[in-house]
Chains A and B, each alone.
Chain A
Amino acid sequence: MDIRPAEITANRANSIVTIQWNDGHRSAYPFGLLRAACPCASCRGGHENMSAEPDAEVFSTVLPESPATRIRSVEAAGSYAIIIEWEDGHHYGIYNWHYLRALCPCEECRSRFGEAV
């Protein structure tokens, strides 16, 4: 099954992005997690560090509330990803569906993507 979001909601009142997936799963991402896991080459320390899944340490990274962790807009990138623009102007990260699913912080998804529990 091609797993993809059916609906994406960025709630700026509680700073949480919620994704309803087409397989029935539901993910909730704090804005800070999405920014810490920005998949752009600059944030990941160069193209050589880019991979299909987020680095494990992003889950334990806590970013303080700031323009860097406030979402200005979310736009679809074709039918495979979203681009998030942050209030500090950063908008280079392309979050594709696989990456976002791997970034889901719930226990089930963390187990699936290799994080020790």
Chain B
Amino acid sequence: MGLAVILCLITWFVLVNSRKMAPLPVSPTSAMVLVPPPTLTPLPTPTIYVSPTPTQRPGLPPASGGIQVGGYVQITGTSGAGLRLRSGAGLEFDPKFLGMDSEVFEVKEGPVEANGITWWYLVAPYDESRSGWAASNYLQIVTTQP
């Protein structure tokens, strides 16, 4: 009986005091201002194409140099100086521009022998105006004709 009375008193005390608790003060000019994050504008993603694996891989170049019309070559071995692509197959022709190490070209014509050098007519795959005759000494096959 006494225990029940004590429990009732405790319950009454808790309920009365909980009603007296003041709500948390809310300042009309709060120090914290929530800034919504900026809306991100999605940047465009490029279209990516990967061609299927060729059924017959072009393979390593034949032992005889391997450069052939329709294949691709890259310039190599100029130590950054670049390779002169000329208006004709021979040292007497004027250079048109410099091809740089690792620059890729498609082989369009050749070979032509002149000045003890084998020459190939190359065209950049991205700019047909970037074309000229190049000495094979500084050409490395990327692929033979696909």
Looking at chain A's contact residues, the main secondary structure is: mixed
B74 within 8 A of partner (CB): yes
B116 within 8 A of partner (CB): no
Contact of B82 among A29, A80, A117 (CB under 8 A): A117
Whether the Cβ atoms of A105 and B46 lie closer than 8 Å is no
Count chain B CB atoms within 10 A of each CB in A6, A11, A31, A116 and give the residue with the most. Answer: A11
Count residues of B near A (Cβ-Cβ below 8 Å): 42
Looking at chain B's contact residues, the main secondary structure is: loop
Interchain pairs with CB closer than 8 A, number: 131
Q: What is the bound-complex CA distance between A28 and B142, given in angstroms? A: 12
Q: A109 → chain B, closest Cβ, in Å?
A: 9
Measured between beta carbons, the chain B residues less than 8 angstroms from A90 are none
Within 8 A of A (CB), among B113-146: 124-127, 130, 140, 142-143, 146
Contact of B45 among A18, A31, A74, A79 (CB under 8 A): A79
Whether the Cβ atoms of A74 and B50 lie closer than 8 Å is yes
Whether the Cβ atoms of B43 and A79 lie closer than 8 Å is yes
Within 8 A of A (CB), among B45-77: 45-54, 58-60, 72, 74, 76-77
Q: B52 → chain A, closest Cβ, in Å?
A: 7
7 closest A-B pairs by beta carbon, nearest first, are A26-B126, A79-B43, A105-B102, A5-B46, A13-B146, A105-B103, A59-B101
